[in-house]
C-alpha cells in the first residue's frame, strides 16, 4: 500500500519537475550569444524566477529521494 502511494507521488513529482523546468525562461542565446555583447547575460534573477528555482530544486529533491527509496527496496 505504501509503495503504491509513494510510486504515485514519484510519478507526479516527475511530471511536476518537467513542467517547472519548461517554465524557466531561457538564459542565453546558445552559440550565437558568444559573439554578441553579453550585457543582459549577467543580470540578477527576478523574485518570481527565484521562487521558481526554489520550487524546481525542492521538486527535484523529492523526486530523487523517492527514486532512491523505491529502487532500494527498503519498503518490502
Q: Which residue has the higher pLDDT, 73 or 66?
A: 66
Instruction: Return the pLDDT at 8.
Output: 97
pLDDT grade for 75, boundaries at 50, 70 and 90: confident
- The Cα–Cα gap between 48 and 20 comes to 12
* Number of structural domains in the chain: 1
Q: How far is CA 13 from the centre of its chain?
A: 10
Q: What's the pTM value of the predicted model, to 2 decimals?
A: 0.74
56 located within any domain? yes
Parent domain of 13: 1-24+47-76
**Cα→Cα distances 64→6, 7, 12, Å:** 12, 12, 12
Residues 2-35 have pLDDT tens digits of 999 999 999 999 999 999 999 988 876 656 655 6
Amino acid at each position: 500500500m505504501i509503495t503504491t502511494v509513494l510510486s504515485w507521488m514519484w510519478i507526479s513529482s516527475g511530471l511536476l519537475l518537467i513542467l517547472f523546468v519548461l517554465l524557466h525562461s531561457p538564459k542565453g542565446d546558445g552559440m550565437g550569444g558568444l559573439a554578441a555583447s553579453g550585457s543582459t547575460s549577467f543580470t540578477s534573477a527576478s523574485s518570481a524566477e527565484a521562487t521558481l528555482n526554489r520550487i524546481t530544486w525542492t521538486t527535484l529533491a523529492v523526486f530523487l529521494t523517492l527514486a532512491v527509496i523505491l529502487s532500494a527496496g527498503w519498503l518490502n
